[in-house]
């Protein structure tokens, strides 16, 4: 295993069977060696698949389409927070106040200023709704499916 003191002129492998591959623009697909070589600015995390212009155009067409509303029932949409990160989770227990305090409370107390989006029980208690509202959480009512052994 190479040490973290690999010289800055070290070059990651361009063998396509390796974890990463050097791209024409000089960036590298998912190659931790770029960090070990001291060149994090050349690191990108892209899928290790050939570029297909037709697929690329199809993706851009889909990106321009309007996003349909979610199938779940939005119970509360928090104002857009200053942070750009998001934590998404599911906690559809009938009662979960202790869990909300530990999860959401610890995030907000420790300075997390991004989105918190959770799926909750459709019959979430009013006390829990008020707490999530105060904490700036967006939450959806989620119906939990009954799973069987055949699934």
Contact between 97 and 126 (Cβ < 8 Å): no
What's the pLDDT at 59?
77
Token code pair at residue 102: 């530990």
What's the pLDDT at 26?
62
β pairing state of 73-76 and 28-29: unpaired
Q: Give the pLDDT confidence of 11-69 residue by residue, as tens digits.
A: 544 444 445 556 666 655 555 666 677 776 666 555 555 667 677 787 778 778 877 66
Q: Give the pLDDT confidence of 89-122 residue by residue, as tens digits.
A: 999 899 999 999 999 999 999 999 999 999 999 9
What's the pLDDT at 58?
78
What 3-state class would DSSP assign to 127? helix
Give the Cα separation of 120 and 53 in Å (integer): 41
As a three-state string, the secondary structure of 54-69 is: HHHHHHHHHHHCCCCC
Closest CA to 116 of 98, 138, 83: 138
What's the pLDDT at 70?
64
Confidence bin at 4 (pLDDT 50/70/90):
very low
- Whether the per-residue pLDDT at 88 is higher than 70: the answer is yes
Q: Which residues, including other chains, have CB under 8 Å from residue 28's CB and lie 6 or more apart?
A: 12, 20, 21, 22, 34, 42, 43, 44
What's the pLDDT at 125?
96
């Amino acid at each position: 295993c190479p040490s973290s003191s690999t010289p800055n002129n070290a070059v990651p492998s361009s063998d396509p069977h390796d974890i990463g591959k050097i791209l024409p623009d000089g960036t590298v697909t998912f190659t931790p060696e770029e960090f070990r070589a001291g060149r994090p600015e050349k690191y990108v995390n892209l899928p290790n698949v050939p570029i297909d212009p037709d697929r690329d155009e199809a993706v851009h067409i889909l990106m321009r389409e309007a996003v349909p509303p979610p199938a779940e029932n939005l119970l509360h949409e928090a104002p857009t927070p200053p942070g750009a990160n998001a934590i998404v989770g599911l906690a559809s227990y009938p009662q979960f106040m202790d869990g909300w305090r530990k999860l959401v409370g610890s995030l907000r107390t420790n300075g997390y200023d991004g989105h918190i989006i959770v799926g909750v029980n459709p019959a979430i208690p009013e006390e829990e709704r008020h707490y999530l509202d105060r904490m700036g959480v967006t939450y959806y009512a989620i119906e939990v499916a009954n799973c069987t052994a055949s699934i």
